[in-house]
Amino acid sequence: MNKKVRWINFHSWYSIRLAAGAILLSISSFAQDLDPRAYVWVPYNARTVVCNYSFSQGAILTDPTLPIVDLQATVNTAALSYVHVFKTFGLTSQAMVAAPYSWANVSGKVFGQARSVYLSGLADLRLRYSILLLGAPAATAPIIMKSARKTILGVSVNIIAPTGEFNPEKLVNIGTNRFSFRPEIALSQPIYQRWLLDIYAGCWFFTPNNTFYPGNAVRKQDPMATFQAHISYNITPRFWLALNGTYYVGGKSVVDEVINDDQQNNTRVGVTAVLPIGKKNSIRLSAQRGAVVRIGQNFSTLSIAWQTSWLGK
């Protein structure tokens, strides 16, 4: 084999390996969370179970110098979540665990050749702990119902654990094979009698993936800042609508000390509606889409969730 052909083969394989980072992140949509009213004041000892299904479809925008084009994905995810509210030094705290399962089709052209892959399996486990520092002390339901609405200041940490399906010999995976952490601070401000404004600011931090494609590469990623804003309106205390927006920036990746041109600088918008069914149950509907997407996934997402809540002793 002459040197020119050998160099082309190496360059082709190496370019695909770099592009794999963008595909892997397309299945893990942690940066795109749109979560209104995540810091509301609820009674301690409240428990909630949530069953959620989401459907996402759209394009994945990669570095234009890479040999993968027309990249499209359809991702389905079903998740079961459990939320428990409790006291921490007299303050309202909340813990959440979510176990998702995903199945997806990804297609595109690699060096002009059409390629597609089907994936299914467990996705990465999600954990969240939050505490309300101001405006929402731990209280029972009757006390909260009699209290005036107040400004709430809260903090949280989100963790994504590498429990999802991951094969280092494959370009596309459901799991990310690394830990991700997001500390966040939030302000929830009532406006008049029925409106509520939520503003969050956080930052994702990532541990390295030491078995990146084809199994012996090390992939690292810079921190990614995230900002959310939500304005919601109460039709009744349990029936509400929200307009949502998020902006995330950063997250440039490095594979074996080679820096990729894949820093994200994206904006997404969405709407959410929560409809009560009886005293304990409700349905949550949401839709979101990319408003400005330069690198990463430009998905439209529809989701529906059923949740039931009750008070422990």
Closest CA to 171 of 248, 71, 290, 56: 71
Sign of the Cα pseudo-torsion (114, 292, 288, 167, in order): positive
pLDDT of residue 183: 98
Long-range contacts of 150-153 (CB under 8 A, 24+ apart): 150/41, 150/190, 151/187, 151/188, 151/189, 151/190, 152/39, 152/40, 152/41, 152/186, 152/187, 152/188, 153/185, 153/186, 153/187, 153/188
Whole-angstrom distance, CA of residue 112 vs CA of residue 109: 5
**233: region left, alpha or beta (phi > 0 left; psi from -120 to 50 alpha):** beta
pLDDT of residue 105: 87
List Cβ neighbours of 125 (8 Å cut-off, separation of 6 or more). Answer: 97, 98, 99, 100, 160, 161, 163, 164
CA of residue 125 relative to chain centroid, distance: 11
3-311 CATH: 2.40.128.130
Q: Take residue 81 and report the two structure tokens written for it.
A: 């979540």
Cβ(256)–Cβ(215) below 8 Å: no
pLDDT of residue 143: 94
Secondary structure letter of residue 89 according to DSSP: T
Cβ(128)–Cβ(149) below 8 Å: no
Length of the chain: 313
pLDDT of residue 212: 86
Residue reference for tokens 């690699």: 110
Q: Take residue 161 and report the two structure tokens written for it.
A: 């654990």
pLDDT of residue 32: 63
Cβ(17)–Cβ(11) below 8 Å: no
Kindly list the domain boundaries of the chain, sorted by start residue: 3-311
pLDDT of residue 31: 53
Cβ(307)–Cβ(49) below 8 Å: yes
Counting as low any pLDDT under 70, the low residues of the chain are: 1-32, 61-68, 111, 292-296
Longest dimension (CA), the chain: 81
pTM of the model: 0.88
pLDDT of residue 60: 73
pLDDT of residue 254: 87
Cβ(260)–Cβ(236) below 8 Å: no
Q: Take residue 14 and report the two structure tokens written for it.
A: 């190496």
